[in-house]
Amino acid sequence: MQRIVPNVWCHGNAGDVGSFYADVLPEASMEVVASYPEDDLPDFQRDLAGQPLVVDVSVGGYRIRLINAGDEFRPTPALSFILNFDPALFDGGIDEARGGMAAVWEAFAAGGKVRMALGEYPHSKLYGWVEDKFGVNWQLMLAAPGAERRPAVIPQLLFTGAAAQAQHAMDLYTGLFPESGPGMIVPKPGEAGALLFAEFTLAGQWFSAMDGGPVHDFTFSPGLSLQVDCADQEAIETLWAALSSVPEAEQCGWLVDRFGVSWQIVPQDMGELLQHPGAYQRMLAMKKIVVAEL
């Protein structure tokens, strides 16, 4: 089971975003899994009454969650998705993999922003970085024939600022989850402690990290957060105590850690709990989620 689920903040259009990804991405589908109540919403959410609240997109079995909300936050390139196109998974081999990449690239670039043009780079025979029209960043990569098999989707954390943070973040995160640990690590030449690229696992899921340095004008945002499904209140308490570092950011299970990454620490049966009369309204008044009070 996928315990950590990336969440994308959408501006009242999660259904449209989900349909777009389901049409564009390989082996993808979308499903509305929760809707806003019809009544008793706060003023800032009344326009969303009855509309989808949560839309899940599955990409090759990997789940990305879309949250329908206002225009308070946008995703940034600090948290992006690596899309791996492995020729071994295509009947037509490398030619079909390249064709699939080209089709996804064209769809994402239309109305979006190209950050690194699709082409050959030292780390890949075919690679490109693009921000789609909804502000979500994707890195498309053609896997080398015979290379170690990687998941179709890998979230990447890009730590910006003068201080190197990727290694410190990996050390913290991998100590919090079972089935976690470092993978390939490539130091950044000439920068002590900085990482050019690294892979690691959390709860059996692949992630990537790198230090971007002070040249970037963005950092992490609640526009793209990491949701952790917890089995019980004890698990919520443990993660909350280890991660939450910005008290003013705590709301409805959301927190911001010492590196600026936004997390949602929630019970794994959150959808069922919110079906209880008045549970949604009680959740809005919470910071850390207290299951017994839902």
pLDDT of the residue at 48: 76
Burial class from Cβ neighbours inside 10 Å (0-12, 13-18, 19+) for residue 75 reads buried
Write the CATH number of the domain with boundaries 4-74+221-293: 3.10.180.10
Residue 144 pLDDT class (50, 70, 90 cuts):
confident
Contact 14, 52 (CB under 8 A): yes
pLDDT per residue as tens digits for the range 237-278: 999 999 999 999 999 999 999 999 999 999 998 878 878 888
pLDDT of the residue at 181: 97
Domain boundaries, the chain: 4-74+221-293, 79-213
pLDDT > 90 in the chain, percent: 79
Contact 139, 80 (CB under 8 A): yes
Helix 14-24 with 93-109: angle, nearest 10 deg: 150
Cα separation, 209 vs 186, whole angstroms: 10
pLDDT per residue as tens digits for the range 216-227: 999 999 999 999
The helix/strand/coil state of 72 is: coil
Between strands 62-69 and 4-11, the pairing is parallel
pLDDT of the residue at 50: 66
Cα separation, 146 vs 150, whole angstroms: 11
Closest Cα to residue 210, out of 230, 242, 184, 177?
A: 184
4-74+221-293 shares its CATH topology with 79-213:
no
pLDDT per residue as tens digits for the range 44-81: 777 777 678 899 999 999 999 999 988 899 999 999 99
pLDDT per residue as tens digits for the range 121-143: 998 999 999 999 999 999 999 99
Cα separation, 199 vs 82, whole angstroms: 12
- What's 79-213's CATH class? alpha beta
pLDDT surpassing 90 at residue 92: no
pLDDT surpassing 70 at residue 111: yes
